[in-house]
Every structure is written in C-alpha cells, then in structure tokens.
Chains A and B, each alone.
Chain A
Amino acid sequence: MNPVGLPPVSSGLLVAGAVTAAAVSLWLLLPRGSDRHQSRSFYLTQRCGMLLGVVALAGLATAGRRLGSLGEDAVFLTVSIVAVVSGAATIVSRSPVYSAIWFALSLAGVAGVLLVLGAQFLGVATIVVYAGAILVMFLFVLMLAQPSGLAPYDRVSSEPLLSAVAGAVLLGLLTLSIGRLSSGTLPSRAGAVETLATTAPAALDPLEDNHVARLGAELFGRHLVAVEAAGVLLLVALIGSIAIVSRGELDAVADRHSTASHAPTSHAPTRPEGIA
C-alpha cells in the first residue's frame, strides 16, 4: 500500500497548476493592512480566494493515487482535507485564539491521516504532544495575556506574497519529488534511498499486532544514538529554562534591593507558587 495520495510523474502539470492556485488563494486570503471588513471588495477577494482554494484542493486530490477501497479513500480524503483547510485557516484568521483552534483541528486531521495509514503511534502521539500539551499551553497564555484583542498591526500578515510563493514552491517540489520516489522512477544516484526501499518490509498490515513493540525495537535499536541525543537535548533545555527563571528571580531581588528600600511595590517574581 502506498502512503500519501501521491501523483505519478505524468500528473506533474496538474500538481503545478493546483499549487499555483493554492498560492494565489492564500495570497488573496491572508489578512492585509487595513481592516476592510465591511467593504465589498474585501468580500469579493475572500470569495475568490476560497474558490481558488477549493480548485487547488480538488486538483491535488485528483492528482493523488488512490489507496484501495472506496471507504478508505473517503476517510483519507476527508481527514486530509480537514487538515489542509484548517491549516490554511490557521494562518488566515485574525484572532489568535481562533488560529490556535484551527491549528488544533489541523493536527487532529493529520493524526487522522496517520491513523488511516496505519501509523497508530505517530497519530496518537501527535494529538497527545501537540494538541494536548503544547497547544493547550498556547491557548492558556493567549487567554491570559490578551483578553481584549490585539493591535491591528499584529493581526496582519507582513509578507503575504513572498510567503505564499515560498510555500507553494516548497509544496510543489516536495509533492513532485516524493511522488517520483514512490512511483519507482528513481534516479540511480540516490542509491541509499533505493536500497532502503528494497530492504524495507513490503506492505505491512496497518493493524499489525505488535505495532508499538516494533516501533520501540526500531527506535532503541537502529536509532538509539538519535534517541539518546534528543533526550540529552531536552534535558539541557529543561536545565536552561530553570536557570533562566532563577536568574530572573535573582535580578528581581537585586532590583528591589537597590530601588525600593522600604516595602516592595509588587510581588516581583509573579510566577505562581509551585509551577517550577
């Protein structure tokens, strides 16, 4: 079974067209300078952008290869469209809270794609780590910090054209190159990838019984050094953050000592007790 719905090389033109449409659509949708919420041209641009986005999605969907059964395809397309559309909505929406929610939905879509493709651990871990921990933290901070909204300049995209073009080029190149890899017309100089493709066990059942056990054996066998390095990196980050926090406390104490000779004017370290 072939993972992502990937195009054969002949559909390169279709992919290029879809990617261009996606770029234009994003460029139209990204929030601009003035708040022209009510104006007619604003609505027109929005509608055009959405329409182009739908066209781009349809193009990418038809360019992709089918997974197999009808039901599988339907589920795959649904979750991937949810992922892509909410990903676009993340960068398009003006309210940061809405952006965070859209991002969460996008992650849920990605997790759904991974589950459909049989990468259970990765799918569930995406939700646990990103949607469950990191994004909840974001939302927490957003809600604490900005109850009354943002300044206008914080809600617009600063380089809409450049970012849309860069994203489109990256998307197109990745799609085409990965599609070429999976369709077998691999240039011979990329020998490493070829040997990997031939030695990898072919067509594992997605509901393989020992999914996590195999993953663990792979991680702690072939990739042990990488896992350990990541662990050390995280530990360093943890120690670093604690060091920064305690440095801040020292400074605050020194400040209070030098400026306020009587009573302190505020609780300088406002970190809540216990969250260390």
Chain B
Amino acid sequence: MTTLLPSPTTLAALAKIGLLVGGLMTAAAYLVLLERWIAAWVQDRRGPNRVGIPLTKIRLFGLGQPLADGLKIILKEDFTPQHVDKVLYTAAPLVILAASLAIFAAIPFGSVLPPLNIPGLPDPVPFLVAPGLDVGVLWVFALSSIAVYGVLLGGWASNSKYSFLGGLRSSAQLLAYEIPLGLGLLGVVLAAGSLKLDAIMNAQAESGIWYVFAQPLGFLVFMVASFAEAARLPFDLPEAEQELVGGYHTEYSGIRLLLFLVAEFLHMITAAFLIVILFLGGWHLWGVTGSGQEVTWLGAALRCGVLSAKILAVIVFFMLVRWSWPRFRFDQLMNLAWKVMLPLGIANLVVVATVEEFRPQLLASLGAGWAQGAALAAPWAVFFIGWIGAGLLTPSGTDNRPILTRSPLDAEHGLLTNTSRDWEKAVR
C-alpha cells in the first residue's frame, strides 16, 4: 500500500512545474519591457526608463516597469459587456492561458542535472516536466491547437464585429500554417528518429551538426510558420491594431485581457523554444557544453545558460522583425502558406527522407567524411533550388485592384471585366 506522501518523482515534477511557471511568467513580464525597449531603439526614442524600486528614487533603467504595468492592468475594472455570451467569454482567456502553459510539460528547459542519489528518483534528472512522455512534439502540437479555441471563442463570445473578424482571421491563419509547421518539424523528427524534444537535442549534440545546417529549407519553413502561429508581426492579422482595434480581445479588459496578452507572449516563447530545440542545437555549443549525458553542476548550469541565451536571441529576432516588416494582406498570407510554404515543406521532407534512407549505403560506399558531405550538400542544393523557384514563380509585385474573374475559363468566355464601372455594378 502506498503512503499518502508524494513520491520523490512527484515532488521533482512539482518543483520543475513551479520553476517553469514562475520563470515563464517573469520572462513574459520582462519580455514586454524588452519589446518596448527594442521598439524605442528602432524608432529612435528612449522607451521606458523611469520606474525603478518602488517608493525610492532609484531608477534602475526602468526595470520596475513590468511590476507597474502588471499592477495597473490587474487593478483596472474587469468589465463584462452586456452583449457577450457570458460563459464562453469567461472561459476563452482561461482556455488559452492553460493550454499555452501546459505546452511546456513536454518542452525541456535545460539538459540534465548531475546524479543526486536520492532514493526513488531515477538519475539523471532531466530538465523536463514530463520525461516519460514519448510523444513530446505531438503534445506541443495538440496543446497549441487547443489554444486556437481561446482565440476563436473569445472572438465569437464577444459578439462584436472586430472581435469576430479577429477570431475568424486567426483560426484560418492558424489552420493554414499548422501544415507547413508540421512539415518543417517532420524532417527533424525523421532525422533524429524520435518525437521527444530532449532526444532531438541530444542527437544534435552528439553529431555536432545542428539541424539548421542539415535542413536549411526545413528551418526556413518552420520559422516562417512559427511566426504565423505566434501571430507576430508580418502575420499579426488576427489583432491588426489599425484595422481591428485589438482583434479577438477587443472587448476584454482588466485581468482577462492580461491573460490573453500573457498567452500571446507565451506563444512567442514557445516558438522560440521550438526553433532553438529543433534547429539550433538546444543546449549544445561546440567546445563549451560537451555532448554526453554525464555533466557536472557547472556543466548543467552552462547548458541551461546556453539554451536561454539562444532563446533570448531568437526572441530579440522576433521583436526586431516586428519593427522592420510590414504586415501581409490576408490573400498574401494564404498564398504564402499554401502555394509557397507547403511545397517547400514537402520538398524538404522528401530530401531529408531520401538522405536518411540512403545514409547507410552512402557511409558504406563513400566513407564517413564524404557521406556526411553528401548528406549536407543535397538539402542545401534543394534549399537554393526551392528558394529560386519560389522567387521566380511568385509575382514580385502585387495587383491591388479587385479581381472579379477567378478561373482561366472566364477569360476564354470573354468574361474578363476588370473595368471599374463593372466592378461597381458587381458590388451593388
């Protein structure tokens, strides 16, 4: 009979959950500050630099700003408009935040701890909340598709035009970009031979070749798709401020708005984690971290540090992109997803599968060095061919005039009516 005391495994899991949730919430708060700093830097102004330690005059470069922001938004009135569907209106922010946090059950945030020798706790302890989950990548997918519900329900339950448009745009966009995201991911899964994110990092550390070098096309597709999944700027149509006020969270205020905003930042952090873990080697850095499973305390700290630094770099990249790219139009967004990213993702998958299939034969006939070279050259060749092909096949300029005819048959039948008078008639 088991005792009522939780086992060491449970305690370790609880400690990891505490560490992760605390870290993520703090990170989200300070990333807002970072985003504002970067925005200010890009726009050549000063940004928040006043708030320091409360009740003193110490400024500390504005590091107290997240506290002030958080307190302010929590103390705002939590107003529920009369016209909303109360149940779903309340549930939407909870769903999105819970799903965005639960994603991290399968995402490692470091390598392993050195042996602790606690009875009942299998050594080494991985920096991962659910180490037994063999389907880590799919878990991330499942939970991020649950997060779509938050957006969709928030938009629908608000019962207002702006929210509704935001919700619709968001769900269409997320559905479209899940496919290239999955295709980019499949190449990595195929090469690493595992759905566990820590196993994927270990595979990169052992070979020393990060998948960004082995699968450049997959990296490109995955990164673009994760920008879209996180609804960051070139793809932020769901909440395009200039068109939709705030998109699906227009009607929210106070702490429920805060939940939505935190969930959005968590999406970006998740995307950064995935990019680093899948393609940028995770905790691995040549000559610094080593590659085995035996680590000292210093090594474990170093690996956590390397992983965090890479993630921060990716997040800074996300933020710089936000202030340097204009937003896509919705048809451009869909064209990019279905006509560019989907074929490129399939091309990447095919070349990776071919390389992995024939790797043993290559090794046997060419020797280790040449085989590795060939296995790297093929994806790069496909990368450049794909890039050039996509560039040649998609028009560089866009025609903003309304197009009435959609199929080539219309031209055949003499129905090409692109004059403005006909357009006005058609609209009427």
Say yes or no: A143 contacts B145, CB within 8 Å: no
Most buried by A among B174, B335, B426: B426
Give chain A nearest CB distance to B33 CB in angstroms.
Answer: 33
Give chain B nearest CB distance to A39 CB in angstroms.
Answer: 23
Complex contacts, A198 vs chain B, CB 8 Å = none
Count of interface residues, chain A, beta-carbon cutoff 8 Å: 45
Which residues in chain A, 86-110, are within 8 Å of chain B measured between CB atoms? 97, 101, 104, 108
Which residues in chain A, 243-274, are within 8 Å of chain B measured between CB atoms? 249-250, 253, 256-257, 263-267, 269, 271-274
Query: Chain B 410-422 against A: per-residue CB contact (8 Å), 1 yes, 0 no?
Result: 1001010100001
Determine if A127 is an interface residue (Cβ-Cβ < 8 Å). yes
Give chain A nearest CB distance to B385 CB in angstroms.
Answer: 23
Partner of B168, one of A144, A273, A275: A144
| Chain-B contact segment, one of A13-21, A47-55, A132-140, A229-237 | A132-140
For the complex, give the distance between the alpha carbons of A6 and B410 in Å: 62
Complex contacts, A174 vs chain B, CB 8 Å = none
Complex contacts, A263 vs chain B, CB 8 Å = 417, 422, 425-426
Query: Chain B 138-178 against A: per-residue CB contact (8 Å), 1 yes, 0 no?
Result: 11011101101100110010000000100110011011101
Say yes or no: A139 contacts B171, CB within 8 Å: yes
Say yes or no: B409 contacts A120, CB within 8 Å: no
For the complex, give the distance between the alpha carbons of A271 and B172 in Å: 13
Q: In this complex, what residue of A is CB-closest to B412?
A: A253
Partner of B132, one of A125, A207, A249: A207
Say yes or no: B149 contacts A136, CB within 8 Å: yes
Partner of B135, one of A120, A132, A250: A120
Which residues in chain B, 75-109, are within 8 Å of chain A measured between CB atoms? 88
Give chain A nearest CB distance to B316 CB in angstroms.
Answer: 30
For the complex, give the distance between the alpha carbons of A272 and B335 in Å: 11
Give chain A nearest CB distance to B327 CB in angstroms.
Answer: 17
For the complex, give the distance between the alpha carbons of A34 and B135 in Å: 48
For the complex, give the distance between the alpha carbons of A274 and B405 in Å: 14
Say yes or no: A249 contacts B334, CB within 8 Å: no
Give chain A nearest CB distance to B144 CB in angstroms.
Answer: 8
Given contacts A137-B175, A212-B135, contact A249 B406 (CB under 8 A): yes
Which residues in chain B, 111-152, are within 8 Å of chain A measured between CB atoms? 132-135, 138-139, 141-143, 145-146, 148-149, 152
For the complex, give the distance between the alpha carbons of A209 and B194 in Å: 11
Say yes or no: B417 contacts A104, CB within 8 Å: no
For the complex, give the distance between the alpha carbons of A245 and B411 in Å: 19
Give chain A nearest CB distance to B89 CB in angstroms.
Answer: 13
Q: Enumerate chain A interface residues (CB-CB to B < 8 A).
A: 69-70, 97, 101, 104, 108, 111, 120-121, 124-125, 127-128, 131-133, 136-137, 139-140, 143-144, 207-212, 249-250, 253, 256-257, 263-267, 269, 271-276
Chain A to chain B contacts (Cβ below 8 Å), 5 pairs: A133-B145, A136-B175, A140-B168, A273-B331, A275-B172
12 additional A-B residue pairs with CB within 8 Å, beyond A104-B149, A139-B149, A263-B417 = A124-B138, A127-B143, A127-B146, A133-B175, A136-B145, A136-B171, A143-B152, A143-B156, A209-B134, A212-B195, A269-B407, A276-B338
